[in-house]
Amino acid sequence: MPTHDPTTPSTTAWPAPTQPAEALFSETYRTNHWGSPESVSGPGSEMRQTEAARAALTSVLARYPIRTVTDAGCGDVNWIRHVDGFDRLDAYLGLDVVPDLVQLNQERHGSERISFRQADLSRDDIPTADLVIARDCLVHLTHHEVLAFLDRVAASRSTYLLATTYVGEAENRDTTDTQWRPLNLQAAPFHLPEPVEYFDTDFTDGGRHHPGNGLGLWAIDQLSSRTI
């Protein structure tokens, strides 16, 4: 099976989204669509739901040479600020498509080493970092957008990607208008190889259990060698 050339877009087989991500996610933010009293990013960003994710990221920061992080789809950074090791990073950059949320994050949490930037993950370049995080954001993007994001991460000259993946999903279905669905990044059409490490991060929100939810850690050079 051929490997993917990162200089060639891998999105051509999938239709582009019909509405801009900024408009869709801004409406979700403005109306607190997910209804969480703790986080405008939804129940999956609440402290009680992110215990396993925080433990996974703590482990990665402790065992890998990571001093800089780009957090793709950072939301309101409700949980990541409490990860052990976060305050020892040289630089953290949070990317989000919602301009009002980016501005609020910068006002509340911005510092010499913590900054935020508006970015569309499928259209804008991903800044270079030791670790790119994509937790629970790709599940809201279309296949076209996820493939474009992976291409941009592969081109970013970053070192590692830590991303949500549902390893039990044999087949990925596409989505529209930010509707959530589970994604297995090792299945078609993404075809990521076996991760360097996998962390089980099962959680339950609103009475809905998310079995098979995990975080996979990939070396970025694995992304450019994925099969298509």
Task: Note whether residue 116 is domain-resident.
Answer: yes
Task: Note whether residue 46 is domain-resident.
Answer: yes
- Is pLDDT above 50 for 7? no
Give percent above pLDDT 90 in the chain.
Answer: 68
In this prediction, residue 212 carries a pLDDT of 78
Return mean pLDDT, the chain: 86
Task: Note whether residue 167 is domain-resident.
Answer: yes
Task: Note whether residue 2 is domain-resident.
Answer: no
pLDDT digits (tens, 9 = 90+) for 120-135: 999 999 999 999 999 9
pTM comes to 0.85
In this prediction, residue 15 carries a pLDDT of 45
Distance between CA atoms of residues 67 and 204, nearest Å: 31
Cis peptide before 189 (omega within 30 of 0): yes
- Is pLDDT above 80 for 39? no
208-210 and 213-219 beta bridge pairing: unpaired
pLDDT band, residue 56 (cuts 50/70/90): very high
pLDDT band, residue 17 (cuts 50/70/90): very low
More confident residue, 6 or 54: 54
Could you give the count of Cα atoms lying within 13 Å of 34 in the half-sphere of its Cβ? 21
- Is pLDDT above 70 for 14? no
Q: Domain holding 72: CATH number?
A: 3.40.50.150
- Crossing angle of helices 99-109 and 21-30, in 10° steps, is 60
Q: Which of 166, 157, 158 is nearest to 195 (CA)?
A: 166
In this prediction, residue 178 carries a pLDDT of 77
Specify the amino acid at residue 46.
E
Task: Note whether residue 3 is domain-resident.
Answer: no
Q: What range does the domain containing 89 cover?
A: 21-223
Distance between CA atoms of residues 108 and 35, nearest Å: 22
pLDDT band, residue 227 (cuts 50/70/90): low
Sheet holding 114-118, edge to edge: 114-118, 91-96, 68-72, 131-134, 160-166, 213-219, 197-200
> What total number of domains does the chain contain?
1
Task: Note whether residue 127 is domain-resident.
Answer: yes
In this prediction, residue 2 carries a pLDDT of 39
Task: Note whether residue 88 is domain-resident.
Answer: yes
In this prediction, residue 89 carries a pLDDT of 99
97-126: average pLDDT: 96
Task: Note whether residue 9 is domain-resident.
Answer: no
Q: Which residues 6+ apart lie within 8 Å of 142 measured at CB?
A: 14, 15, 16, 17, 174, 175, 176
- Is pLDDT above 50 for 224? yes
